[in-house]
Chains A and B, each alone.
Chain A
Amino acid sequence: GENVEQHPSTLSVQEGDSAVIKCTYSDSASNYFPWYKQELGKGPQLIIDIRSNVGEKKDQRIAVTLNKTAKHFSLHITETQPEDSAVYFCAATFGNEKLTFGTGTRLTIIP
């Protein structure tokens, strides 16, 4: 089955700087890669996703890049703000079902 590795496990950045979280996946058939943000005491919330037919997708300060050849994808957050502090999870799947999640990155924005 699919295996997703996520790095780093913790990340601290100064407010206003950029943050990058990286994930690798094992199943070359995977074609859907979402990212989730989990705030304290809440369930994960989808923030951005990308399908295998594109290499990059942006939504305001958030972007995701996908390298199918290397089987890795990354989340980029620019101009970080205190409300970006949370745990972020990447995931991968083939055919829109049974997401396999990474182990999460705890992002802390330092004011």
Chain B
Amino acid sequence: NAGVTQTPKFQVLKTGQSMTLQCAQDMNHNSMYWYRQDPGMGLRLIYYSASEGTTDKGEVPNGYNVSRLNKREFSLRLESAAPSQTSVYFCASSEKGGYTFGSGTRLTVV
């Protein structure tokens, strides 16, 4: 039982490049989330999806887009990466409150 799987685990981008972070869960959860984690700032919500076919902005959505491809998959896209997007990104899924997190993607934008 894999839980929440994120790919890639590490990525280095040049400013202006684009990329998509992938997330998949095998727990049949309805809700999925993307957070970023920066030192001293905890986990901040970028986007979330309460159910298949719906997405909503979180606290820090600027510079990102998301796609809820199906119930299992929720991807995060950076169209034009900026150094301010250097961070660790976590995907999570939930059902009735308890979140299950993936192991994270460490992204560096140079």
Contacts and interface: CB of A to CB of B under 8 A. Distances in A.
Contacts of A102: 42
A73 interface: no
A81 interface: no
The residue among B31, B50, B92, B99 with the most chain A CB atoms within 10 A of its own CB is B99
A34 B42 CA distance: 14
Contact of B42 (A45, A89, A98): A89
7 contacts: A9-B40, A36-B101, A43-B92, A99-B45, A101-B43, A103-B42, A104-B42
Interface residues of B, number: 26
Classify the secondary structure of A's interface with B.
Answer: loop
A103 B40 contact: yes
A42 interface: yes
A42 B97 CA distance: 20
B85 interface: no
A103 B44 CA distance: 9
Contacts of A97: 31, 48, 50, 94
